[in-house]
Amino acid sequence: MSGELPAKVIRAAGEIGDDLAAWRKILGLTTQQVAERADISRDSLRKLEHGDPTVGFHVVLRVARALGILETLTNALDPLNTDLGRARAALIDRQRVR
């Protein structure tokens, strides 16, 4: 397996980074404030906002929480918020595996 990421993944990382930076600016927050609230380094936030696809998923979640958009993110990914997801809801097992 190659370590090279597909172009679509790289583009998506850039768009997500741009969107998170836009939210930060709309909320009038500095990179330092968001980094502190997310309990990450400013360097990690900078990498995320500049579309570095190697930034850990936990960083994305921490920043979304710090910006107050974590619920928006989780709702956007919920398949039951789509016609296809609702039509095939029987295929989804929402219970945790023990």
Q: Using CB atoms within 10 Å of the CB of residue 25, give its burial: 0 to 12 exposed, 13 to 18 middle, 19+ buried.
A: exposed
In-domain check, residue 11: yes
User: Model pTM?
Assistant: 0.86
In-domain check, residue 84: yes
Contact 7, 51 (CB under 8 A): no
| Each residue's pLDDT tens digit, 6-27 | 999 999 999 999 999 999 999 9
In-domain check, residue 1: no
| Each residue's pLDDT tens digit, 39-53 | 999 999 999 999 999
**Measured between alpha carbons, how far is 25 from 55 in angstroms, rounded to an integer?**
20
How many domains are contained in the chain? 1
Q: Give the CATH number, domain containing residue 64.
A: 1.10.260.40
Q: Which domain holds residue 54?
A: 7-91
**Measured between alpha carbons, how far is 68 from 49 in angstroms, rounded to an integer?**
16
Contact 82, 69 (CB under 8 A): no
**Measured between alpha carbons, how far is 85 from 74 in angstroms, rounded to an integer?**
15
In-domain check, residue 2: no
In-domain check, residue 97: no
